[in-house]
């Protein structure tokens, strides 16, 4: 029997370490304390794999949008069809990252314009 650290046991089970920690706290899986670290018996981890042997359901979200309000329903349908046809897990993370970057970039540009205008180095309308 091998005592596994939290991260290694979670990886074997295919769950996030926080999930495994919650399972241990609720008594769903036995835990052995080694100093201040939780350790999990490889036997208990394998037994947990067998008892939760069902395949995990993967949930994904779709987001489609148009800029106008007239006659763009076909665009929404085309976007939805394309998103459903592709594997979007990583694409969604990329999309959120892109929007966050744009948002912070816009704030940065606005702050740059404001600072330049306040310093009198250029007109507020011309600063880029």
- Assigned domain for 56 exists: no
- Please check whether residues 16 and 45 belong to one and the same domain: yes
| Mean pLDDT of the region 63-72 | 73
Question: By the 8 A CB rule, do 38 and 31 touch?
Answer: yes
- Please check whether residues 77 and 98 belong to one and the same domain: no
Closest by Cα among 94, 78, 77, 84 to 61? 84
| DSSP strands (E only) in 35-112 | 37-41
Least confident of 28-37, 70-79, 111-120: 70-79
- Please check whether residues 7 and 29 belong to one and the same domain: yes
CATH number, domain containing residue 13 = 1.10.1660.10
| Mean pLDDT of the region 20-44 | 94
- Please check whether residues 37 and 17 belong to one and the same domain: yes
Containing structural domain, residue 104:
91-128
- Please check whether residues 8 and 45 belong to one and the same domain: yes
Q: What is the pLDDT of residue 31?
A: 95
Please give the tally of structural domains in the chain: 3
pLDDT confidence bin for 92, thresholds 50/70/90: low
Q: What is the pLDDT of residue 45?
A: 92
- Please check whether residues 95 and 78 belong to one and the same domain: no
- Please check whether residues 43 and 65 belong to one and the same domain: no
Helix then strand count (H, E) for the chain reads: 5, 3
Question: By the 8 A CB rule, do 51 and 29 touch?
Answer: no
- Please check whether residues 99 and 80 belong to one and the same domain: no
pLDDT confidence bin for 5, thresholds 50/70/90: very high
């Amino acid at each position: 029997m091998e005592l596994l650290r939290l991260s290694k046991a979670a990886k074997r089970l295919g769950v996030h370490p926080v999930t495994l920690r919650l399972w241990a706290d609720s008594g769903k899986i036995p835990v052995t304390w080694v100093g201040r670290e939780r350790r999990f018996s490889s036997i208990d981890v394998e037994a947990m794999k067998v008892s939760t042997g069902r395949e995990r359901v993967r949930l994904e979200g779709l987001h489609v949008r148009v800029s106008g309000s007239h006659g763009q329903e076909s665009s929404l349908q085309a976007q939805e069809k394309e998103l459903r046809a592709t594997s979007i897990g990583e694409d969604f993370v990329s999309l959120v990252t892109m929007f966050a970057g744009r948002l912070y970039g816009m704030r940065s540009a606005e702050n740059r314009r404001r600072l330049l205008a306040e310093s009198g180095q250029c007109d507020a309308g011309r600063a880029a």
